[in-house]
Structure 1
């Protein structure tokens, strides 16, 4: 057992030394692996941010309930209080037609034209916040049956389209991740294959003195591990740098629309997982590359 542990320690140190002895080639390999790993992670984080933004909007969904012109202010306020007390409604706000006209004048910028109207054409309005946004459509249909209600407007089609696009994006990210993972395996496998060819004579000597396949494979497994870990670290740095550069512009854009929303980047746990994923891909690529060599040349 002590000899096995000692050989693991020596193989890990020797393979790391060999990787660092060729800094240009190793850095190029790390960059290729890092970029391949960073692309699907960036897409996945972007979709997570979109899903979080959709969730925030979803919880703030409102129903615009337009009342009949015959309903006066007192009846509108009473109806708002009655609907606000329902369990399915989290909040109800009454907006009189006078307030709506004043706001329209201020925003439209043509108060002279509106001032020429004999009557206020705008109805009273109720703004309702559903307690369960998923049941907004059913609630809108129920409110439409009330005598005092003229029309109920529920505009969540864009949010449904966003959710469908997000689901499609997750599928695309999965496909892209699988393709890029295959590319990483090919790149690392070719790198390890070149390392095996460069140490062919050494492998032949160790096989002649009775070295097992595990003994021969072990140094190259550690080489693949170092290449994969380095690539995962580069990917984590690229993703973190990209989202750090975008965080301030996104916050400024959200503030311009009066929203308090910040871009969520790569956390420490996610970065560590990305490094581990790179190391796992390196081990798999090295195992496949050395195993192929041992099968094609079993004698050495």
Structure 2
């Protein structure tokens, strides 16, 4: 009895294995055929396909280009960043000896690295030398510049530096205290605002890409209505009908992503020369950085994902409405 069971089981194993292998081969063959046929139909309509690729590429390239600009501005800010420095403008009637004593006392604080005293006469002489206004300076009845203390604090958070500035400004000998890195803090705040704005713009434009691709696939579905009805009449499943349409969305998305990467690279190439020339004029080592190879490939993959997403939404919404009567 056990031999018969084993023999019958062994006899059924081979047909079942062949059936699964055949289904796998058919599934793979249909995927490759659907991909090739969809690509052929996309290429057979070059004008409409190029316009769709261009629309998708511009929608992807715009936020990407703005993000690249923000990245370069951030890199430039890091190169320009220097240790924080406080400029203390002393009272106009402050004697030189007391100003030097104040500089010495401040340098002994734990939260201050060093201080430098700048005499008002030396400051006026430097101003005249750099501005070339020597004749005007000779006509002044007295030196209008106050004594200056340059204070380099210990590296700390922006809040701690702001508190130190307020503390020093409250000293009776100090007329005004300025934090030289305030512009960097403002730049960082503007960068944060810019990133949020670019992220919002990217979400809106990518949503528009999905809608454009969805409308394109909807038109493809309507153009294949008779073909879809016939396939369903002979027993074709929704998955069988869906595959060519998904591949159509994939090709549109890949092409749009590639166009977006090309537009960003072209914009970076056109701007690199004047930006580098301007940087050299200011004796800076800054160079304009564009998208690398990995980022460009990621942009193309993003376009492919958006194409699949738009095609899937359109197919899920419109395919069920097409049924043979």
Shorter-chain-normalised TM-score: which range?
Answer: 0.7 to 0.9
Which residue in the other structure is 2:156 paired with? Answer: 132
Which one of the candidate residues 129, 133, 136 is aligned to 1:106? 129
Any conservation in 2 of the 1:73–1:124 contact (CA below 8 Å)?
Answer: no
The yes-or-no answer on 1:203 pairing with 2:221 is: no
CA distance in 2, matches of 1:272, 1:88: 48
Q: 1:72 aligns with which of 96, 99, 102?
A: 96
Q: Which residue of 1 aligns with 2:269?
A: 244
Aligned position for 1:36: 59
Give the Cα–Cα distance (whole angstroms) in 2 for the partners of residues 226 and 89 of structure 1: 62
The yes-or-no answer on 1:2 pairing with 2:44 is no
Task: Note the alpha carbon deviations across 1:101-160, whole angstroms, 9 max, x for none.
Answer: 221111332212323556544333233344236132112123234565443123666555
Equivalent positions of 1:269-280 (< 5 A) are 269-280=294-305
Partner of 1:283: 308
Q: Normalized against structure 1, the TM-score is what?
A: 0.84
How many residues align structurally? 299
Within 5 Å, which residues of 2 pair with 1:218-297? Answer: 218-297=243-322
Q: 1-side partners of 2:26 and 2:111: how far apart? A: 70
Indicate if the aligned counterparts of 2:89 and 2:149 stay in contact, CA closer than 8 A. Answer: yes
For normalisation by structure 2, the TM-score amounts to 0.78
CA-to-aligned-CA distance 1:73-116 (integer Å, 9 cap, x gap): 7963x765765675644664443334312211113322123235
Q: Tell me how far apart the structure 1 counterparts of residues 105 and 123 of structure 2 sit (CA, whole Å).
A: 22
**Greater Rg over alpha carbons, structure:** 2
Cα deviation 1:192-240 (Å, max 9, x = unaligned): 2222233333322322222211111011111111110110110011011
State the superposition RMSD in angstroms: 3.0
Gaps of 5+ in 2: 1-23
1:10-62 deviation line (CA, Å, top 9, x unaligned): 22222222222222222111111101111121222223333444455554543
SS at match of 1:153: strand
**Aligned pairs for 1:136-155 within 5 A:** 136-146=161-171, 149-154=174-179
Q: Distance in 2 between matches of 1:178 and 1:187?
A: 14
Aligned residue for 1:239, secondary structure, equals: helix
The worse-fitting range, judged by mean Cα deviation, of 226-235 and 89-98 is: 89-98
Counterpart Cα distance in 1 of 2:147 and 2:281: 30
Match in the other structure for 2:3: none
SS in 2 for 1:261: coil
Instruction: Identify the range of structure 1 (270-279 vs 192-201) with the bigger mean alpha-carbon deviation.
Output: 192-201
| Distance of aligned partners of 1:26 and 1:72 in 2 relative to their CA distance in 1, 3 Å threshold | same
Q: Which residue of 2 aligns with 1:17?
A: 40
Structure 1 stretches lacking a partner, 5+ long: none
Does 1:212 find its partner at 2:233? no
Quick check: 132-141 or 88-97, which moved more? 88-97
Contact 1:243 1:265 in 2 (8 A): yes
Give the match's secondary structure for 2:286. coil
Alignment partners' CA distance in 2, 1:246 and 1:281: 29
Whether the 8 Å CA contact 1:59–1:133 is kept in 2: the answer is: no
